[in-house]
Amino acid sequence: MSTTRRGFLGSCAVAASSYQRILGANDRVGVGFIGYGLIGAQHVWDFRNQPDADMVALSDTYQPRMEQGVAACGGKARSYRDFRKLIEDKDVHAVVVSTPDHWHALMTMMACAAGKDVYVEKPMTLFVKEGRWMVDVARKHKRVVQVGTQQRSGPHYAAARKLIQDKYLGKMHSVRMASFRNVMPGFGAPPAGAQPIDFDYDMWLGPAPARPYQPHRGIYHFRWFWDYSGGQMTNLAAHSIDIVHWFTDAMAPAAVSSSGGRFVLEDDGETPDTQDALYEYPGFTAVWSHREGSAGRRAGAGLEFFGSKGSMTIDRGGFRVHSDPKINPESAIPVFRGAPTGGPQRQAAAEPELWVKTVEMKGTSEEQFRLHVRNFLDCVKSRQRPVADVEDGHQVAVACHLANISLRTGRKVRWDGKTEQVLGDREAAAMLERPYRKPWDAVLRSLLA
């Protein structure tokens, strides 16, 4: 790599100065996109539909997708095979990172050091220590970093959070999270071979270990390999755990136990198709389950909070509160009258006909994506921290990674959230960090210096 430590930091300083001048003189935000896969396409759509976002540039290691992405941006975005050129582009004020997981941390830190704000997809990291590095770099360079946990921007999620924090469910003591689906028999096991001429596989690998090319190491199926991802624990569970943290103001579990494996899918994947995890938080427990071979039954999927007076089920389509007024009328929760912007008010006990068993509010996934992008752009201008700040993304990723560490070691992992250290288990502690492949290890050192 031609970028030296001194040259990289020098170009960062120039870009940061240029960025401040441009944004101060122009209320529009120039956006550059790194990665145009499934979620990348969603982000291009959402940013393009914001009135103050300019679609400036796009980078991808796979030429067909880069061409699709440029077209989706309106045809005028500059294309870069090397994402570093996009980060250096003076017209790019904010960078959207929609790559495979193993690139999230390094690209985010490089963009922050160059004076760019960042919208990075979840999971924010591939391993635990990356998260603290990202927080430190973002704070050092005073950057806004929004994590793609879009549910935090859903109005019905905010209303549900207020219910729980106001103790309308009583004492919240447990949470159940799950995702069941059937993708049997799996994704197959294509042999290794020559990489496509229009795919820059070495750049795609980046800081990950060098491996022979085969079709599943790239594009979508990267998610089933430990080199690049943490499977459905870091993919799907991250969304649910994020809501648990946000609703309860929890920062980290005290202990995590997890078991499972790739039991039924017939392919070359490594991450579990079946996994259960038990999280121990102060005052409550949370459980996660996923099934990739759940033929004929998907019941149990979703997110549910249990309190001493009632329970709540919630997903991107809305929430419902369940109570039992037959046992204790004071525990029942009144129905919302219109939009619950300020939360429900308790009715007088002398009016039992006003008490109901359920409270409901609807929402849409599209609304959450749109509002999450809007929150990011607003924070780029105001310099306030976004609703899903880099610190939040780090803590959620920690919980996910600890479950995978427990699964891979076969032991409960005890965690000190203040020191961010595993307690009493050297093998598990060694899994908090992974080495970066050359030359990206030198880039990391320059960012952390």
pLDDT digits (tens, 9 = 90+) for 405-414: 999 999 999 9
In contact, 272 and 255? CB cutoff 8 Å: no
Using pLDDT thresholds of 50, 70 and 90, give the confidence band for residue 8: very low
Tokens 């429900």 found at: 344
Whole-number Å distance between alpha carbons of 249 and 154: 17
Task: Please state whether beta strands 255-261 and 274-281 pair in parallel, antiparallel, or not at all (unpaired).
Answer: antiparallel
Whole-number Å distance between alpha carbons of 75 and 93: 19
Residue 235 phi, psi dihedral angles, 5° rounding: -85, -60
Residue 193: burial class (beta carbons within 10 Å; 0-12, 13-18, 19+): exposed
Of 100-104, 349-353, 365-369, 426-430, the poorest mean pLDDT is in 349-353
pLDDT at position 1 over 80:
no
- Tens digits of residue pLDDT in 42-63: 999 999 999 999 999 999 999 9
Report the share of the chain in percent with pLDDT over 70. Answer: 85
Q: Which two tokens stand for residue 99?
A: 């790559």
pLDDT at position 222 over 90:
yes
What is the average pLDDT across 356-385?
Answer: 91
272 Cβ contact partners less than 8 Å away, ≥ 6 residues apart: 231, 232, 233, 260, 261, 262, 263, 290, 407
Q: Which two tokens stand for residue 307?
A: 């309190």
339 Cβ contact partners less than 8 Å away, ≥ 6 residues apart: 155
In contact, 117 and 93? CB cutoff 8 Å: yes
Q: Quick one: how far is CA 90 from the chain centroid? A: 27
Q: Which two tokens stand for residue 167?
A: 């103790």
Task: Please state whether beta strands 117-120 and 94-97 pair in parallel, antiparallel, or not at all (unpaired).
Answer: parallel
What is the average pLDDT across 143-149?
Answer: 98
In contact, 375 and 119? CB cutoff 8 Å: no
